Amino acid sequence: MDIAGQLITIAAVLLGGLATHFTNHRMERQRNRYTLLTRWDERKLDAYADYVDCVRTCIYSSVLLYEVRQTMRNIERSETELTLELADLEGGRSRAFERVMLLAEDDVVEAAHRLNAAAHAVAWRARGETEGSLEDWRELNKAVFRAINNFHQEARDDLGVSGNFRGDEHGARELVLPQTREESGS
């Protein structure tokens, strides 16, 4: 074989090696990018789920406090104990909200702000910081659960989860609220 043939063979081997190296480098880089995105999505999912769990826990604690304050329910714990418990739970909600703020896209952050405002309104009414009728109280609860649904949808969009529940069927479902003693007696 002459020198020109050998040089062409060596150049072809070198070109093949460089092409293989370049392809492997790009594939590894793309795999690392995908792994990083997946890891952030997992952290986002955890932060979103923790936040909604904290919000719901605060709401349920607020409902209990409200019902005790309004003498709709009798339990062994005092109003003061329930108020302190709610304050502690709200601290957890605030910490969970901060994690959402660190990880979420803008639309999710806005939905979280609206949800926080609705949850605060429920807690303020439960503690007696704001006044209103039982119907107003029920409207506050409906509003906070609409805000939770909106947060869910924005979080799903951020995570790339397909489907949606903004439609008429999901939104038409009413929050199930117990009747008052007067309503059940009539």
Q: Does the pLDDT value for residue 16 go beyond 80?
A: yes
Asked, for residue 180, whether it belongs to a domain, the answer is no
Residue 59 lies in a domain: yes
CATH number at residue 147: 1.20.120
Please report whether residue 8 resides in a domain.
no
pTM of the entire predicted model: 0.73
Q: Residue 15: which pLDDT band, with cuts at 50, 70 and 90? A: confident
Report yes or no on 25 lying in a domain. Answer: no
160 is in which domain, residue-wise? Answer: 37-172
Q: Considering only 118-127, 137-146, 160-169, which range has the smallest mean pLDDT?
A: 160-169
What's the total number of domains in the chain?
1
Residue 171 has a pLDDT of 47
Residue 22 included in any domain? no
Tell me the per-residue pLDDT of 31-47, one tens digit each, with 9 for 90 and over. 777 665 566 788 999 99
In a domain, 125, yes or no: yes
Q: What is the pLDDT of residue 8?
A: 85
In a domain, 100, yes or no: yes
In the predicted structure, residue 161 carries a pLDDT above the cut 60: yes
How confident is the model over 120-142, as pLDDT tens digits?
999 999 999 999 999 999 999 99
Tell whether 17 is covered by a domain: no
Q: What would the 3-class secondary structure string for the chain be?
A: CCHHHHHHHHHHHHHHHHHHHHHHHHHHHHHHHHHHHHHHHHHHHHHHHHHHHHHHHHHHHHHHHHHHHCCCCCCCCCHHHHHHHHHHHHHHHHHHHHHHHHHCCHHHHHHHHHHHHHHHHHHHHHHCCCCCCHHHHHHHHHHHHHHHHHHHHHHHHHHCCCCCCCCHHHHCCCCCCCCCHHHHHC
